[in-house]
Amino acid sequence: MERRTATLIEPRLLLRALGQSLRKLSPVSLWRNPVMLAVELGALVTTVFIGIDAARGNGVGFVLQVSIWLWFTVIFANFAEALAEAQGSARAESLRKSRHDLVARVLREDGSTEPVPATKLRKDDVILLKDGEVIAGDGEVIEGTSLVDESAITGESAPVIREAGGDRSGVTGGSRVLSGSIKVRITANPGETFLDNMIKMVESARRHKTPNEIALEILLIGLTVLFIVVVVTLPAFAGYMGVSTTVPILISLLVCLMPTTIGGLLPAIGIAGTDRLLQHNIIALSGRAIEAAGDVDVVLLDKTGTITLGNRMATELIPATGATREETIEAAMLSSLSDETPEGRSIVVLCKNELGIKGRDIRAPEGAVFVPFSAQTRMSGIDASGRRIRKGSVDAVRAWVESAGGAFSDDLVRRVEALAAQGDTPLVIADGPRLIGVIRLKDVLKQGIKARLSQLRQLGIKSVMITGDNPLTAASIAAEAGLDDFAAQARPEVKLEMIRKYQADGHLLAMIGDGTNDAPALAQADVAVAMNAGTQAAREAANMIDLDSNPTKLLDIVEVGKQILITRGALTTFSIANDVSKYFAIVPAIFTAVYPRLGFLNVMHLTNPSSAVLAAVVFNAIIIPMLIPIALRGVRFRTTSVSALLRLNLLVYGVGGLLLPFLGIKLLDLLIVWLHLA
Amino acid sequence: MWQALYVAIWLSALLGLAVPLGRYMARVFSGERVFLTRILRPLEKLVHRLCGVDETREMTAREYGSSVVVFTLASLVLLFLLQALQRLLPLNPQCLAGVHWHTAINTAISFVTNTNWQSYGGEYTMSYFTQMLGLAVQNFVSAGVGIAAFLAMVRGFIRKETGTIGNFWSDMTRSIVYVLLPLSFVFALFLASQGVVQTLRPSTTVQTLEGTNQTIAVGPAASQIAIKQLGSNGGGFFNANSAHPFENPNWVSNFLELLAILLIPVALVFTLGHMLRNPKQGRALFYAMAVLFLLGLGIALASELAGNPALRQLGVENGSNLAGKETRFGIVNSVLWGQSTTCTSNGSVNSMHDAASPVTGLVYMFNMGIGEAIFGGVGVGLMTMLFYVVLTMFIAGLMIGRTPEFLGKKLGPFEMVMAVIGVLLPPVVLLIGAALAVLLPSARASLANPTAHGLSEILYAYLSAAGNNGSAFAGLNADTPFYNLTLGLTMLVGRFATILPGLAIAGALARKKRVPSSIATFPTTGILFVVMLVSVIIIVGALTYFPMFTLGPVLEHVTLTGGGAL
């Protein structure tokens, strides 16, 4: 599948983000980020001290540099957020363009049509579409069938069928009708389409914080308050010991201690997460749902279309006693030649394979009469050259054979039962009263589904299959695909019951649905993904929409959810671990003038107090832009045991966060002295 | 390495007692029958009837918290009145006058918050009546409140989808009747057998060999010392606390009084494991605490055994630091006591911490500064530890890509607010208090040593108050209105900023569902959890106190090792 990717360093985006980051300096907009607001206040006070020092006739070089770097600290943090937003809106805009300047033919009550611009389409307007036209808005097919190219929206090049009624009636604005004429009822007012939702979502990732973000922010604010008290009381203790302190140095210490790294990058992480889902062609309608995805421990999967290809395929021909293999193949093929159902076609393919005549066209004999499947007979077949070949379920064929004067052999009954016990569907073939053989129909698993399910299991996620099949069939497929649980003979309301049952046990559930009857279950599930091709009801009940309508996407969603949380945790750990080195840089700088013996704390051997403080402040500022790529891309997520994952992240971001700044501050100190800045 | 051997023997004895006691308490607090039920159940019922307690009535976190606050404030007022009016009350053979108002307020707060900071000298300030009916009673009930609050917090993790976390009155009664009273009873008898005084007679005056008169204070000490050790109280009957021969006569009494400091705090960790039906969890928390305990003990022992370098330069052989220590106990017993008492918020002393080496002082201050989470005060210590666990699990949860949880309970913004208050509010208040003390000239006048050591003395006082510890660095005359009131306030914050957030977390968690654990759940019983928890505690402590400790004990240490006087 091809994915739209936006490179991180696109000059246009960088420029836009830069402009935004200056605009975000306004305290009104920084109010939402208390840690950075505190830094800005610090920067402001330090700036005032440039004037005070200048008026006193002191040198201002040091204070000037400190205040510049404090301002940069805020700007860098704003830049991270602005860049994440710019990426998201760029993606949204490129989608929005696909719908620009469209004119729809709206059907009026008198039957006439009237051209209306896409932006003026209202809910419940009915538009007419024919070959080659672009669909002007989100809607539902109410008449006709057509082949639709959704590549503009989903990036998926294979066209899809959209037809009135059923679960494949949803169409998306921006997709193109390749063939067929359809009537579409518009389901969203201007500004409420999925594109608009998505743009809103990108913006709301900033406005509505998720509970987890709020909890983390509380921790950061708590630490900030603690460090403010530590720094504010420091002059009292220092003064008592005869050490004088200056406001700019105290503010430098404070800003270095405050968790500015994570505080600055936190908003960007959430926005970037939403954006990453978009790269997977999934629109998350709430940030909360993305986080919940990281926690999901049970997924409900529909059998058809998700686990299996959806159609049973013939996999084996078993001759009855007294019939030869060739006879069986011939009868099976004859009975299915005109059978256009997927099962019928798969029988023909199997027979051709058995005979080794792949690809050659085989026709029914002259004068043959095809007997289609009917609800009464529950059989299909062919009458040709005096033969009356039928295939169908065991009971139906048994009745047919017996009415024609034949007898059902015990041997055959046993074979049929054995097949059913393995979860397969047996079709019996008979020619008049004579039994010929059995066709084994099997549900075929989708390619790669086993691997995906085992990946889910490694993440601690149980997969549960929902199917209308009988328990035997369901159990067999569950065993083959490696599912943890299944619900057989499930009516639509069973899904809802199952979700409630799992939730009552404390599980978090994800499900993918498309049909109208999925809507209640989708509304109940913690992570509810509706397929874009699904019905309007399903899409409204869901909190994520999968534009590709690919049910195996759940794994991607879970990974993105986990990535967001891991990135937050990793950068928080890094930010707090950084503080240790900053103490070792600044505290000796404050005290050694009076107490040279405390110089042993200057483990980095920084050149002088000014260079030490500056190095710490500069490191604190530039680490933010240096970590922007991690914040936007997310910390890599590996499918390993949680302990191994935690150990790795602790090592990289905890121990790394402890040690790296010692090196960084030392290098900056050397650089600052080399440039004669302090 | 006989020192290490002694510590090992003492630790084994401690575990030998604490493990069964932990199991016993788990049974008691789960309402199961124990061997003492037959004897104590009638007593428990009697208390309930007398106080009108309906033990089946469940309380919400808010009700539980209000009960704790009301009970504590009522005790405070009562204790204040007892002191103020002791002249008019019986059992005052020394005819001691009413206690100063600010001393009385400080003492009342100190004893109801289980701190037992004493800005007065016991034997010449408090009448027997005040000591027995006021202080000794508070020694029991303040410890009972701590255990009750801890029980309520544990129920938050055990219960699911309910609004209630137990009944405060019944929890407190049960912890006193089934745990504190029987243990104190046995221990007091034992102490008396070793020579700890227990009498209502007034002080005796004897003529010494030099012909001068000496007043020898006596009193009902044994009964109070038993509970002071067991209940993390620490308030001595005599001013010299457990360095006084009538409180701690010999090495046997010393060994057992040492055990008593840690007995219930350690046992409660195992109780937690049993109550959670997850003994491994209890053990994991024990290991984390034990690592921090032994780390501090090792540093302090090394520092004390190395002795004062200034003395070594003067040619003193074997210059272990014996200053301020009872020679009958020696270095190991003194440091072991100091480490135990500062870790558990007990606060009783058998040596003068003021005279310990600066590094040892730093260890003691760190123990208190992190909020007494290393075993800690009965009940409340474990609550503080659970706050750290919440913080740890928040970070750990994020780093494995799950919204954070502990013991199957999701940790959201509310739990985070409460854990942050529990961990950070006491340091914030104590730093402000200590800063005021060094700023105000009147407060600075209380200092005997206005140096780095003086700074340590002030810091120690506020750390001790915030940790509800009660031990003192001496050298600081804290019986002034400023210190009595600011330290009193700090003690109240230290107490309520632990209990109330803990109860709030319990209430919130009890309402939540329990998430079943899977392979995606971070195992909180393994070594990684222990390492992470220990790191979080050390880092939070270090980040909070780095500048102050640098100016206090660290500066004193480098000055000392540098050889010059400051």
The whole-number pLDDT of residue B123 equals 67
Predicted confidence at residue A28, as pLDDT, reads: 83
Flag whether pLDDT at A275 surpasses 90.
no
Q: Which of A223, A506, A565 sits opposite B515 (nearest CB)?
A: A506
Distance from CA of B396 to the nearest CA of A (A): 7
Rounded Cα distance, A103 and A330, in Å: 56
pLDDT tier at A3, thresholds 50, 70, 90: very low
- Is pLDDT above 60 for B364? yes
Contact with chain A for residue B519, Cβ under 8 A = yes
Which tokens is B545 given? 């106190």
Interface of B with A in 142-181 (CB under 8 A): 160
Scan for tokens 């590996």, then name that residue. A638
Q: B74 or A400: whose pLDDT is higher?
A: B74
Mean pLDDT within B372-397: 93
Query: Among A573, A598, A641, whose Cβ lies nearest the Cβ of B550?
Result: A598
In the prediction, which pLDDT does A6 show? Answer: 44
Give the mean pLDDT of A606-626: 94
Residue of B362, B360, B251, B250 lying closest to B305 (CA atoms)? B360
Strands A145-149 and B405-406, how do they pair? unpaired
pLDDT in tens, A96-128: 665 556 778 888 888 888 888 877 788 888 888
Q: A129 in helix, strand or coil?
A: strand
Task: Find the CB nearest A229 among B421, B432, B513.
Answer: B432
- Residue B262 is classified by DSSP as H
Q: Is the pLDDT of residue A676 over 90?
A: no
How many other C-beta atoms are found inside a 10 Å radius of the C-beta of residue B386? 26
Chain A contacts of B535, Cβ < 8 Å? Answer: 654
Quote the pLDDT of residue A4. Answer: 42
Taking CB atoms and an 8 Å cutoff, what residues of chain B touch A507?
A: 515-516
Taking the C-alpha atoms of residue A184 and residue A99, their distance in angstroms, rounded to an integer, is 16
Exposure string over A505-543, b if 16+ CB within 10 A, otherwise e? ebbbbbbbbbbbbbbbbbbbbbbbbbbbbbbbbbbebbb
Instruction: Please tell me which residue, A173 or A427, carries the higher pLDDT value.
Output: A427
pLDDT of B565 reads 38
Which of A570, A601, A650 is closest, CB to CB, to B532? A650
**What whole-number distance in Å separates Cα of residue B486 and Cα of residue B491?**
9
A302 is catalytic: yes
Q: Which of A302, A431, A469, A546 is catalytic?
A: A302
For residue B416 the two structure tokens come to 């985070």
pLDDT value for A99? 56
Question: pLDDT by residue (tens digit) across A539-554?
Answer: 778 888 887 767 678 8
Among the ranges given (A75-89, A533-547, B140-154), the one the predictor scored with the smallest mean pLDDT: A533-547
Check A566 against B399: CB less than 8 A apart. yes
Any idea what the Cα angle at residue B429 is, between residues B427 and B433, rounded to 5°? 115
Asked if A506 is an interface residue toward chain B (Cβ–Cβ < 8 A), one would say yes
pLDDT of residue B432: 96
Average pLDDT across chain B, whole number: 89
pLDDT digits (tens, 9 = 90+) for A576-597: 999 999 999 999 999 998 999 8
Q: Across the interface, which of A230, A241, A570 has its CB nearest the CB of B551?
A: A241
Q: Tell me, yes or no, if B528 comes closer than 8 A to chain A by beta carbon.
A: yes
Average pLDDT score over residue span B71-88: 92
Please state the rounded mean pLDDT for residues B444-448.
75
Give the confidence band of A482 by pLDDT, cuts at 50, 70, 90.
confident
Alpha-helical segments (H) within A98-191: 151-154
A241·B516 Cβ contact <8 A: no
Q: Count of CB atoms within 10 A of residue B432's CB? A: 17
Is it the case that residue A213 has pLDDT exceeding 50? yes
Q: How far apart are CA B223 and CA B226, in angstroms?
A: 6
B401 and A637 within 8 Å at the Cβ level: the answer is: yes
Contact at CB, A598 and B428, closer than 8 angstroms = no
Overall average pLDDT of the B222-229 stretch: 88
- Which residues, numbered 326 to 385 in chain A, qualify as contacts with chain B under a Cβ-Cβ cut-off of 8 Å? none
Select the residue from B390, B395, B411 to test the A interface by mutation, using most A Cβ atoms within 10 A.
B395
Query: What's the gap in Å between the CA of A6 and the closest CA on chain B?
Result: 25
- Binned at pLDDT 50, 70 and 90, residue B199 comes out as confident
**A residues 559-618 near B, CB within 8 Å?**
561-563, 565-566, 568-570, 572-573, 576-577, 579-580, 583, 587, 590-591, 595, 597-598, 600-601
Tell me the pLDDT band of A195, cut-offs 50, 70 and 90: low
B535 in reach of chain A (CB within 8 A): yes
The pLDDT score that the predictor gives to residue B67 is 96
Contact (CB, 8 A) for B437 and B443: yes
B283 vs chain A: nearest CA distance in angstroms?
Answer: 19
Q: List B residues 410-469 in contact with A (Cβ-Cβ < 8 A).
A: 411-413, 415-417, 420-421, 423-424, 427-428, 431-432, 434-436, 438-439, 444, 452, 455
pLDDT the model gives residue B359: 93
Higher-confidence position of A477 and A49: A49
Q: pLDDT at residue A330 above 90?
A: no
The amino acid sitting at B223 is S
Tell me the average pLDDT across B378-386: 94
Statement: residue A205 has pLDDT above 90: no
Q: Please determine, for residue B64, whether its predicted confidence score (pLDDT) is greater than 50.
A: yes
- Stretch A238-249: mean pLDDT, rounded? 91
According to DSSP, the residues that pair with A176 across neighbouring strands are A134, A149
Task: Give the mean model confidence (pLDDT) for residues A498-516.
Answer: 83
Q: Which residue has the tokens 């409630």?
A: A500
* Contact (CB<8Å) A566/B401: yes
User: How far B442 CA sits from the closest chain A CA (Å)?
Assistant: 13
Structure confidence at residue B564 as a pLDDT band (50, 70, 90): very low
**pLDDT at A363 > cutoff 80:** no
Edge to edge, the sheet with strand A145-149 lists: A160-163, A145-149, A176-179
Residues of chain B with pLDDT > 70: what percent? 97
Greater confidence, A53 or A255?
A255
